[in-house]
Structure 1
């Protein structure tokens, strides 16, 4: 993984690196490898993840077909304005 540092701005490069690592799932994998997970716990977790994924895909499909209203996005007014 590579991040370019522009104008000696290390903070910005670090933020970009963290975002890339988050997208790739590296933090989640590190957390999972931190402690031993019993095979039964692993099966239960993977099954729950699969169910969650299937439900999400079904919900998205129904939304595309117009049978469900789209999920509301967070309002821009809730964020403080940058000045």
Structure 2
């Protein structure tokens, strides 16, 4: 990942860097890796995320059918 600094404007470069990192999910990844997550906890979390995505998808599909 590369961020260029123009006219010694470091603040702008930091904003661009943060935006790029956020877009790539780096902050989320760092937050996840802050503490060790047991494999069983990881499976449970991934399963819950999948269920959440499915419910959201179904909710959007039902709303699209109504409108």
Q: For the superposition of Structure 1 and Structure 2, which TM-score range results when normalised by the shorter chain?
A: 0.7 to 0.9
Q: Which runs of 5+ in 2 are unaligned?
A: none
The Cα of 1:30 is off from its aligned counterpart by 1.2
Q: Which runs of 5+ in 1 are unaligned?
A: 69-83
- TM-score with structure 2 setting the length: 0.77
The Cα of 1:35 is off from its aligned counterpart by 1.1
Residues 59 and 36 (structure 1), Cα distance of their counterparts in 2 relative to 1, 3 Å cut: same
Count of residues paired in the alignment? 67
Of Structure 1 and Structure 2, the greater helix share is in 2
Q: How does 1:49-60 map to 2 (within 5 A)?
A: 49-60=49-60
Deviation beyond 6 Å, 4+ runs, structure 1:
none
